[in-house]
Structures are given as C-alpha cells and as structure tokens.
Amino acid sequence: MSAYSSLVLLLAPATVAAQGSSGSSINSPQKALELLDTIARWMYGGILALAVIFILLAAYNFLWSGGDTARVEKARNQLLYTAVAVGVAILTKSIIKLVEIVLK
C-alpha cells in the first residue's frame, strides 16, 4: 500500500465527520456573522501557528548562516514575510469586527 493510499484511508473518517446537515443553517444576518467570525478565528490561529514555525526557521537560518550574507538576507526576508502574515491575520480579525459594527 502506498503512502498516498494510507493517507487517504487515514483521513477518510475525518472527511465524513466534516459533512454537515442537509440544508443551510444560515437564515439570518447574525448567523452569517457567526460563520464569518468562526472562519476568521480559524484563519487567525492557523496563521499564528505558521508564523511561529517560520520564526523558528528564520532563527535557524540566522544561527547557521556562518556570516554568509545571502543566507542572512534570506533569514531577514523570512522574518519580514512572517511579520506581514501576522499583520494580515490581525487585519482579518479587525475587518470582521468592522463588518459586524456596520451590519448592526
């Protein structure tokens, strides 16, 4: 059995459990806002988790650069991109709150 087949079989129960009930449960603007808030929270958490990984990767690149300017520049760029990603995550939360205020 290949690794791909094993992965598909391992994740199959998770995809079945992810299936929601039939019909839409969004029947009011409040429900739509709750859904947007849930999506934003998941995105926020995911981006922050990835940011930690990329910060550690940049630190590793700084430590093992050996004074090589190209590798130091690569590590600096990784830190810059991580900061931009965290900024986007914060903006995501702010935009959702702004939409909530406008719709209320």
Q: Which two tokens stand for residue 56?
A: 């550690």
Nearest residue to 82 (alpha-carbon basis) of 40, 41, 52: 52
Q: How far apart are CA 51 and CA 78, in angstroms?
A: 10
pTM comes to: 0.60
Give pLDDT tens digits along the chain (104 positions).
Answer: 677 677 666 676 666 655 556 666 778 878 887 887 788 788 888 888 999 999 999 999 999 988 889 999 999 999 999 999 899 888 877 887 888 788 77
User: Does 78 fall in a domain?
Assistant: yes
User: Does 11 fall in a domain?
Assistant: no
User: Does 20 fall in a domain?
Assistant: no
**Number of domains comprising the chain:** 1
User: Does 15 fall in a domain?
Assistant: no
Q: Which two tokens stand for residue 41?
A: 């929270």
User: Does 94 fall in a domain?
Assistant: yes
Parent domain of 79: 28-103
User: Does 19 fall in a domain?
Assistant: no
User: Does 65 fall in a domain?
Assistant: yes
